Structure 1
Amino acid sequence: METRELTYFVTVAEELHFGRAAERLGITQPPLSRAIGQLERRLGATLLERTSRQVILTEAGAVLLQEGRAALDAVAAAERRARRTALAATGRPSVVLASKAGASAELLAKLLHAYDAEPDAACVEVLLCGPGQQEGLLRDGRADVALLHRPFDSIAGFDTEELMTEGQVLVLPAGHALSSRTSVTLAEVDSLADLPLPRWPQRDGSYPDGPGPEVRDLTQLRQLIALGRACTVLPESVRADLGEGLTCVPVSDAVQVTTVIAWPPHSRSRGVAGLVRAATAR
């Protein structure tokens, strides 16, 4: 199976429309239809049921869509890492570090400061992203190393070193009735009708159902909390960067959050190795 064919199929399977898929791929529809037909004949399976009104993914097609996306992601990741390795060989090494925006800010600052002090330190590009996105950036090769948070981020398939473990706190507007409490429970958080929990985008870009506001990043969330429109539960280290109009209360029964530095096991980057050494030597 060629990468080009797989790209064609995944695009049609996502659009469920040959015309839109062809436009997205920048080709005309006839060669796209022929390519899908050839792929089906070679696999001996119908991947897409076509009628005059719609295109439907078959069971075999659904399997290939899932596996095909993973395969294309792996190819793209290999290409990105190979290019960065080649760039490093020219004497311009760089490392891309992914971290959740607003999380572990103090830890990240100390890590970068410690690494910058090393004589052979590479240039570090920091990608600040939304909750859970740093794992995907690391898996698809857009990042070389990442700060992940167990149990929320999966570390399966990565090499890791633990950096810190902490409790969680409820972040709410200063002056709220709960702000004077020494602790709250998750059940109490869930029952706050006046301060619903936010809804973050899912992997497909859609938002889950619920009463809370749709949010894209922690800056937007902090503003909503200060306005009395939402609350959230975050690792305790957020205390260092709460901002005006916000306060926090420990959540007694919330799970502990462990921050780890993670990298692909096949990495041979000296920059990644240096970052890990700096992180674990703190």
Structure 2
Amino acid sequence: MLERLELEAFLTLAEELHFGRTAERLHVTTGRISQTIRKLERRVGGPLFERNSRKVTLTALGEQLRDDLRPAYDQITAGLAQAITTSRGVRVKDVVRVGFSGAWCGSLLVKAADLFRVRHPDSVVEIQEIQLLDPLGRMRAGEVDLQLTEFPIDEPDIVQGPLMFAEPRGLLVPDAHPFAARESVSVEELADTTLVTIASDNIPKYWMDYYFPRTTPGGRPIPQGPATRFWPEVLVHVSMGVGVSTVSLRAKDYHSRPGIVFVPLHDAPPIDYGFLWPHTGLTPGASTYLDIVHELAAPIR
């Protein structure tokens, strides 16, 4: 019989593939997570994770155990949540789980969730940020029903819905950079600077090429800087003068800070945003929620 911490530590680590973030989510120490996983591996009789100084990955045995345990765990969690809400006199008819990858996307989702709750008071909307590190992982794990994110996404198991809105593209540059004083910059000029990128192990190559190109339209190589894992790391690298990064100009409304300047890329295509959902289709609640988002969203620019 699995102990609760063993179960939660294993499933959380299988999702995060990072001991530190797993410990943060479960409010225990990293050492406790390591000890718990080692204990579970001894009980199972084989390694569940491959670990090295750079990354953590699931073994074939770990993948099998994750796939066997996740449905049962989700069912238990859902049953407990239903019992709690029933005891409080509330019956949850539907739970809609929605992810977003930009603060401006999150603002729209929260606004839609408020209206959804007014119209469907016996339903719940759960909104969560999707990290750059693994933009499709939570959807593939069945943890979100809808996701508002940057296009393009061309995956056989995920539906790319219609375009919701588009935002001008720009560069995030250090305030001492020559680009900072410019009214706009050309994509061709990326060859004259260093591009701060993101770690791309779990990101489709076509997506990376679209947002973090390695060559200019004219074929000049673009120097590649540090590969970050989270958006705050991008802000730190740029503010310290390490390089520049491509960005939605809308980010200026949410992430302006000393040391950085937002400069338009005048010849770059806009960043398109839209919803994704599993190829198995939308749940009734997700479909209703999506209708409300369309009702509230600004016209496509």
What's the TM-score bracket when you normalise by the shorter of the two chains?
Answer: 0.5 to 0.7
Shift of 1:26: 3.2
- Which residue is equivalent to 1:158? 158
The one-character-per-residue Cα deviations of 1:143-195 (angstroms, maximum 9, x if unpaired) are 222112212x34543342431123311111235321232321223123214xx
Q: What aligned pairs does 1:1-282 form with structure 2 within 5 A after superposition? A: 25-27=41-43, 91-92=91-92, 93-100=94-101, 102=103, 104-120=105-121, 122-131=123-132, 133-151=134-152, 153-154=153-154, 156-159=156-159, 160-193=161-194, 196-200=195-199, 202-203=201-202, 212-245=225-258, 246-267=260-281, 269-282=283-296
Once structures 1 and 2 are overlaid, which stretch shifts more, 106-115 or 244-253? Answer: 106-115
Percent identical: 16
Contact 1:73 1:140 in 2 (8 A): no
Q: Closer, same or farther in 2 for the Cα pair 1:143/1:179, shift >3 Å? A: same
Q: Closer, same or farther in 2 for the Cα pair 1:94/1:182, shift >3 Å? A: same
Question: What SS does the aligned partner of 2:232 have?
Answer: helix
CA distance in 2, matches of 1:266, 1:236: 34
The one-character-per-residue Cα deviations of 1:210-232 (angstroms, maximum 9, x if unpaired) are 85234221122212222222321
CA distance in 2, matches of 1:212, 1:121: 49
Shift of 1:22: 9.5
Q: Closer, same or farther in 2 for the Cα pair 1:247/1:28, shift >3 Å? A: closer
Q: Closer, same or farther in 2 for the Cα pair 1:275/1:72, shift >3 Å? A: farther
CA distance in 2, matches of 1:28, 1:80: 18
- Which residue is equivalent to 1:58? none
Amino acid of the residue matched to residue 200 of structure 1?
Answer: A
Once structures 1 and 2 are overlaid, which stretch shifts more, 243-252 or 107-116? Answer: 107-116
Alignment root-mean-square deviation, CA: 3.9
Q: Closer, same or farther in 2 for the Cα pair 1:78/1:150, shift >3 Å? A: farther
Question: What SS does the aligned partner of 2:165 have?
Answer: strand
Question: What SS does the aligned partner of 1:213 have?
Answer: strand
Question: What SS does the aligned partner of 2:197 have?
Answer: coil
Structure 1 gaps, min length 5: 1-20, 33-64, 205-209
Structure 2 gaps, min length 5: 1-36, 47-59, 204-222, 297-301
Q: Closer, same or farther in 2 for the Cα pair 1:28/1:259, shift >3 Å? A: closer
CA distance in 2, matches of 1:244, 1:190: 26
Shift of 1:142: 1.7
CA distance in 2, matches of 1:80, 1:278: 31
Contact 1:84 1:94 in 2 (8 A): no
Once structures 1 and 2 are overlaid, which stretch shifts more, 118-127 or 82-91? Answer: 82-91
Size of the aligned set, in residue pairs, is: 221
Q: Closer, same or farther in 2 for the Cα pair 1:268/1:100, shift >3 Å? A: closer
Q: Closer, same or farther in 2 for the Cα pair 1:103/1:123, shift >3 Å? A: same
Q: Closer, same or farther in 2 for the Cα pair 1:119/1:102, shift >3 Å? A: closer
Q: Give the alignment's TM-score, normalised by structure 1.
A: 0.61
Question: What SS does the aligned partner of 1:261 have?
Answer: strand
Which of the two has higher C-alpha Rg?
1
CA distance in 1, matches of 2:295, 2:70: 29
Q: Give the alignment's TM-score, normalised by structure 2.
A: 0.58
